[in-house]
């Protein structure tokens, strides 16, 4: 795996842990933070899938 992908995955997991660990202190701010995190992960996965070539047959 690419080091950048692993670093991004670690950052997302840390952000998810922080959001749900401090949800009482964050209050209503948790909703936009959660949606932002989901959007970030979705766009990052889309970019990874976009890099794959359609004719690539790796079995």
DSSP states along 1-59? --HHHHHHHHHHHHHHHHHHHSHHHHGGGHHHHHHHHHHHHHHHHHHHHHHS-TT----
- The total domain count for the chain is 1
Examine residue 31 and state whether it is found in any structural domain, yes or no: yes
Where in 1-59 does DSSP place strands (E)? none
Quick one: pLDDT at residue 26? 87
- Rounded to an integer, the average pLDDT of 24-35 is 90
Quick one: pLDDT at residue 49? 77
Examine residue 32 and state whether it is found in any structural domain, yes or no: yes
59 pLDDT higher than 60? no
Query: Cα separation of 53 and 59, whole Å?
Result: 14
Examine residue 15 and state whether it is found in any structural domain, yes or no: no
- Rounded to an integer, the average pLDDT of 18-45 is 90
What is the residue range of 47's domain?
A: 27-51
Examine residue 20 and state whether it is found in any structural domain, yes or no: no
């Amino acid at each position: 795996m690419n080091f950048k992908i692993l670093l991004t995955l670690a950052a997302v997991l840390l952000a998810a842990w922080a959001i749900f660990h401090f949800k009482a202190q964050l209050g209503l701010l948790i909703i936009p933070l959660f949606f932002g995190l989901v959007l970030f992960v979705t766009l990052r996965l889309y970019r990874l899938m976009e890099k794959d070539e359609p004719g690539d047959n790796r079995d």
